[in-house]
């Protein structure tokens, strides 16, 4: 009897085509807000929230664990200290839905990308969204720590409108930004 039930279940799933078939067309990521933020090896500001919807070819929620959804950044953009994964799995109480939010631990790989650092949202191996984020970092040389080398790069941006060193996001690199930079200086390294 169990064998007949299992066969009937498999035939039913095959006939309806709704057995959690991966369908990249029905998987989406949305940027809920867009504000400048700071990433640092030891943490920075909360990033803009990315809302993620995963559905199969029958528009049914896909349930996966949080680590199956992550951010990636093309080479020469951002350097993450460790993986940036979804806030939660896509199981109940909200199947097929999660977010990515919070602090990103890391630094910059290029000083030319601060106003538009590209990140990809990847779910189950598929790129489901690509976004340009407004980001800055005290780790200006991308070596995963805030040192004298970064201070030299910061000093070169002092009294300018360079978004890479505008940590309070007021449009100008000033003494206020120096105070924030000083808070990260020396002890801010990537540690798990």
Is the pLDDT assigned to residue 19 strictly greater than 60?
no
Q: Alpha-carbon distance 106 to 86, whole Å?
A: 17
Please give the pLDDT value at position 109: 85
How confident is residue 113, by pLDDT bands cut at 50, 70 and 90?
A: confident
Please give the pLDDT value at position 171: 94
pLDDT digits (tens, 9 = 90+) for 50-92: 999 999 999 999 999 999 999 999 887 898 999 999 999 999 8
Instruction: Place domain 20-184 in its CATH homologous superfamily.
Output: Immunoglobulins (2.60.40.10)
How confident is residue 4, by pLDDT bands cut at 50, 70 and 90?
A: very low
Domain positions in the chain: 20-184
Is the pLDDT assigned to residue 124 strictly greater than 50?
yes
Q: Alpha-carbon distance 132 to 147, whole Å?
A: 27
How confident is residue 183, by pLDDT bands cut at 50, 70 and 90?
A: very high
Q: What is the DSSP string of 114-177?
A: TT-EEEEEEETTEEEEEEEE-EE-S-TTSSSB--HHHHHHHHTTTTS--GGG-TT-SSS--HHH
- Sign, Cα dihedral of 173, 138, 44, 48: positive
Q: Are the beta carbons of 72 and 85 closer than 8 angstroms?
A: no
Please give the pLDDT value at position 16: 43
């Amino acid at each position: 009897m169990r064998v007949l039930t299992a066969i009937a279940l498999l035939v039913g799933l095959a006939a309806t085509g709704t057995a959690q078939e991966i369908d990249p067309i029905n998987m989406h990521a949305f940027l809920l807000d867009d504000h400048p933020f700071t990433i640092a090896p030891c943490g920075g500001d909360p990033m803009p929230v990315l809302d993620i919807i995963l559905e199969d070819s029958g528009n049914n929620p896909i349930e996966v664990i949080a680590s199956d959804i992550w951010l990636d950044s093309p080479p020469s953009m951002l350097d993450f200290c460790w993986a940036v994964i979804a806030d939660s799995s896509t199981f109940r109480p909200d199947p097929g839905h999660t977010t990515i939010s919070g602090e990103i631990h890391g630094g910059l790989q290029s000083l030319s990308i601060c106003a538009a650092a590209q990140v990809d949202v990847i779910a189950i191996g598929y790129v489901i969204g690509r976004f340009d984020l407004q980001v800055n970092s005290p780790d200006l040389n991308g070596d995963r720590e805030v040192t004298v080398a970064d201070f030299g790069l910061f000093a070169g941006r002092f009294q300018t409108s360079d978004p890479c060193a505008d940590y309070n996001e007021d449009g100008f690199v000033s003494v206020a930004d120096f105070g924030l930079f000083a808070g990260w200086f020396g002890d801010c390294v990537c540690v798990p």
